[in-house]
Amino acid sequence: MLYWTAQNETKVPKLGFGTWLIKGPQCIKAVRTALEIGYRHIDTAQIYGNEAEVGEAISASDVDREKIFLVTKVWRDSLSSENILSSTEESLKKLKTDYVDLLLIHWPDPRFPLQETLSAMQSLVKRQKIKMIGVSNFPVELIEISKKIAPELICNQVEYHPFLDQRAILKAMGTHNMFMTAYSPLARNRVFKNKTLQKIGEKYSKTAGQVVLRWLIEQKNVVAIPKAAKQKHAQSNFDIFDFKLKEPDRLILGSMHSQNQRLVDPEWAPDWD
- Give the catalytic positions in this structure: 48
Strand (E) or helix (H) holding 101: strand 100-105
DSSP per position, 209-270: HHHHHHHHHTSTTEEE--B-SSHHHHHHHH--SS----HHHHHHHHTGGGG-------TT--
DSSP code of residue 193: G
DSSP per position, 104-172: EESS--TTS-HHHHHHHHHHHHHTTSEEEEEEES--HHHHHHHHHH-TT--EEEEE-STTS--HHHHHH
CA–CA distance from 219 to each of 8, 12, 28, 87, 174 (Å)?
A: 21, 14, 31, 34, 11
Strands, sheet with 100-105, edge to edge from the N-terminal-most edge strand:
17-18, 41-43, 69-74, 100-105, 130-136, 155-159, 179-183, 222-224
